[in-house]
Structure 1
């Protein structure tokens, strides 16, 4: 291995590590607020990439019908909840807004010349289609069992992941897809040229990492969200809605993962079932951070990307084994150095 090869591998490692860092932060974001290890986050990455590719090909994505169906179910459950509380047949004010949004997205996707749209508009449309599914996922699958044991929440998370993989196959088919790069220019660094997409990934990921850290560590709203995971009843008594906190964090996580898919789509071909491996590598970074520290999780995910890149050069057949083996010493260290406290019933 010479210096040029090492630089190229380092470029790939930093690019992949930045995406894994966004996944790790999304996992931490959801876990610290809701105690849910949300495995289906990887599906938002693949759905984002495949939806962006479909828009660039000028194909009205069938994902919009999934959005409409989930919106109808969500609104129906909210209406039934209002009736169950004894408020009579009173239509909540936000229900027409939700339905109007979903119908508007259907009309836009079916009538716009998608392939002729600027790439920025295509990216915004992809985010507009997928981000609302985050709160809907929480409302449909996790809000009714929000107070359940962590193991129950994990089992439901696995079930949702399996269902989303099947839905992905139905919506996008078995073929992979890539998108056009944001720009064709690059940055010369000695013998190595950094392509523009790598720069986009690094800059956007760094900005989001810093923003999330400041939001949860320095802002009152971020601390209020984290309080719901520590004591749901206490948070409710202080005026913090646990259900609203859950929906908010799921929306933020869906945004981060969808944006990750848009960023990585020009670099690698993604398939409907690629999300699980991506999510697991982000989970390794989150474990390195102890499921509590955003900066350490980001650094751990970056290390995962670098180890993966150099493993492909030295032992490509064992790169996945090497990457996932990283989690073992950190789990042992956490187990030996942390106090074991039984979860309150």
Structure 2
């Protein structure tokens, strides 16, 4: 391996690792606030890339059907809940969030082929972000107080539903979106693509935005309070259902941005989200599903390990990456001998 190959591998590892950082941070955020291991996190990534590619290829937006159907189910659940409580409180907000907004975005998506590229990106992000709270309302809110094991089973079931829907609506073909930035520059006498620099910069900027959001905004502090003590947060007036929907919206938005960033550098299929999310999960495991900086560093290490494994042993790169979980879990099992039961 010469210096030029080493440089290209580092670039590839940093680009993919920056996306894994975003996914790992999302998994940690969702788990700490809702106790849900968000297995379908990768589907937000793949759906965003596939939707944007559909706009670029002038195809019908398959995501619009998922939005409309899931939104209709969510609103029907809200209607049933209002009937049981004998109150109409919250129905107006639910009608807007689960019916009007998905319908408006779906109508805009029908004309998405004629929109400028930047508007297509914004529309894609808006559609995927709207899907997040809808999925939480349908799949997780009715069982929000269940044990993490039941929530994990629900997350796995939702993953299979979304993958099957993706196959039906987007087809089995892989796609790549158009490069956001063309060209390259030189850093330390090595060519570095502008696309790589933009991915790393976007990941860093988004992590800084999340740090400011959780540290200095009232909503961010409410989510942190829910993560620390769900029961205590509820007693002081923080709705766990609202916290869950906001968290899923953030996770979906970050997943959409990740899909737009990674779409030009790798081929995305309807089921690519699972592998992407699983690699972000490895980084989250390094952080113990609780520590954001450790999860981010772990996800970056996963990207670099994957890049160098593809050079030395490309047939075993996935095995090498996922085997990284084993020593981490062994170390944590010896470092933390006590087990806390969740009695909520």
Report what 2:19 is aligned to. Answer: 19
Corresponding residue of 2:213: 215
SS of residue in 1 equivalent to 2:163: helix
CA distance in 1, matches of 2:327, 2:14: 22
Q: What is the deviation of 1:322?
A: 1.0
* Aligned residue runs from structure 1 range 1-345, under 5 A: 1-87=1-87, 92-98=91-97, 99-110=99-110, 112=111, 114-338=112-336, 339-345=338-344
Structure 1 window deviating more from structure 2 (180-189 vs 14-23): it is 180-189
Cα 1:246–1:2 shift into 2, 3 Å: same
- CA shift, 1:170, in A, is 0.6
Please say if residues 28 and 290 of structure 2, whose CA atoms lie closer than 8 Å, have aligned partners that are also in contact.
Answer: yes
Give yes or no for contact 2:102–2:130 (8 Å, CA) kept in 1.
no
In 1, the alpha carbon distance for the partners of 2:327 and 2:333 equals 10
Residues 91 and 321 from structure 1, CA distance in 2 versus in 1: closer, same or farther, beyond 3 angstroms? closer
Assess if the C-alpha contact under 8 Å between 1:48 and 1:262 holds in 2: yes
Once structures 1 and 2 are overlaid, which stretch shifts more, 194-203 or 235-244? 194-203
Asked if structure 2 preserves the Cα contact closer than 8 Å seen for 1:119 and 1:182, the reply is no
The DSSP-based 3-state class of the residue aligned with 1:194 is strand
For residues 95 and 312 of structure 1, the distance between their equivalents in structure 2, rounded to whole angstroms, comes to 47
What is the distance in 2 between the residues matched to 1:94 and 1:300? Answer: 39
Distance 1:305 1:115, change over 3 A: same
Q: Distance in 1 between matches of 2:204 and 2:37?
A: 23
Q: Deviations over 1:195-231 (max 9, x none)?
A: 1211121111001112223333454432321322443
Q: Could you tell me how far apart the structure 1 residues matched to 2:259 and 2:89 are?
A: 40
**Deviation per residue, 1:120-149 (Å, 9 max, x gap):** 111101011111111011101111111111
Give the 3-state SS of the residue equivalent to 2:91 in structure 1: coil
- For the aligned residue pairs, the C-alpha RMSD in angstroms reads 1.6
C-alpha offsets along residues 217-247 of structure 1, whole Å, 9 cap, x if unaligned? Answer: 4544323213224433321110100000000
Aligned pair in 2 of structure 1 residues 217, 336: CA closer, same or farther (>3 Å)?
A: farther
TM-score computed with the length of structure 1 as normaliser: 0.95
Q: Distance in 1 between matches of 2:316 and 2:146?
A: 38
CA contact (8 A) 2:184 2:192 kept: yes
Q: 1:160-208, CA deviations, whole angstroms, 9 ceiling, x for partnerless residues?
A: 1111110110110000000111121322124422112111211110011
- TM-score when normalising by structure 2: 0.95
Moved more, 91-100 or 171-180: 91-100
Q: How many residue pairs are counted as aligned between the two chains?
A: 342
Secondary structure of 1:93 counterpart: helix
Q: 1:108 to 1:336 in 2, by over 3 A?
A: same
Task: Give ranges in structure 1 of 5+ residues lacking alignment.
Answer: none
Contact 1:213 1:294 in 2 (8 A): no
Q: Is the Cα contact below 8 Å between 2:45 and 2:259 reproduced in 1?
A: yes
